[in-house]
Amino acid sequence: MHIAILTFEGYNELDSLIALGVLNRIKSDDWRVTIATPSPKVTSMNGVVIEQMSTLEEACTADAVIVGSGIATREVVEDPAIMKVLRGLAPSRQLIAAQCSGALVLAKLGLLDDIPACTDLTTKPWVVAAGVEVLNQPFYAKDNIATAGGCLASQYLAAWIIARLQGPEAAESALHYVAPVGEKEEYIERAWRNITPYLPAPTPALT
């Protein structure tokens, strides 16, 4: 399984790196999480430089993708070279999630047609202008597309992906690891309250 986190120039560290940390709680030889960038290095909104772990082209073939957020997302969606590559994203064969202004990328790709989205308050007007309904909640998913609003909602995207690819127990274990001491049960309960309504119904056991 390959999970790619799209990370652009001016990226928000909380959006890309919290998801990276939670997703990497899965310790399996066939589980790989990468930072996918359009260039060999990108610099965050606060000056943190990270190196490319995978390309945008590789992300389009991944099992799951998170479109990260940042201060230059409007420039990203106006970049024909980047958007041409990202048109290779396909919810018919991969999980696609967007964090905060990443929802604008999905909107411009036409992946949110008839699907409401969650995003941050700064990005909300741009997503609405792109013709997408914005919800006042931290997480929403329909089929293989999910969005989250607010930097610390990135945990929900990571848990949703783990639950879809590895099962709810694996997602709960990952959340338990990162949750604050003394608040783990409360933390996990809140996460499931937001995620569970958007997970596929369990398949009934054969009798």
Largest CA distance in the chain: 57
Nearest-angstrom CA–CA distance, 174 and 181: 14
Report the percentage of the chain scoring pLDDT > 70.
97
Mean pLDDT of 77-100: 97
Averaged pLDDT score across all residues of the chain: 95
Does residue 206 register a pLDDT over 80? Answer: no
Does residue 205 register a pLDDT over 80? Answer: no
**Long-range CB contacts (< 8 A, 24+ apart) of 106-113?**
106/67, 106/145, 106/147, 107/131, 107/132, 108/77, 108/83, 109/83, 111/145, 112/145, 112/147
Decide: 52 and 41 in contact? Cβ < 8 Å.
yes
- pTM across the whole model: 0.94
Which of 17-48 are b and which e, b meaning 16 or more Cβ less than 10 Å from the residue's Cβ? bbbbbbbebbeeeebbbbbbbbeeebebbeee
Say what the pLDDT of residue 201 is. 78
Q: Higher pLDDT residue, 197 or 204?
A: 197
Predicted confidence (pLDDT) per residue in 93-118, tens digit: 999 999 999 999 999 999 999 999 99
Nearest-angstrom CA–CA distance, 186 and 127: 32
Which of 161-194 are b and which e, b meaning 16 or more Cβ less than 10 Å from the residue's Cβ? bbbbbbebebbbebbeeebeeeeeeebbebbbeb
Mean pLDDT of 181-201: 94
Say what the pLDDT of residue 136 is. 97
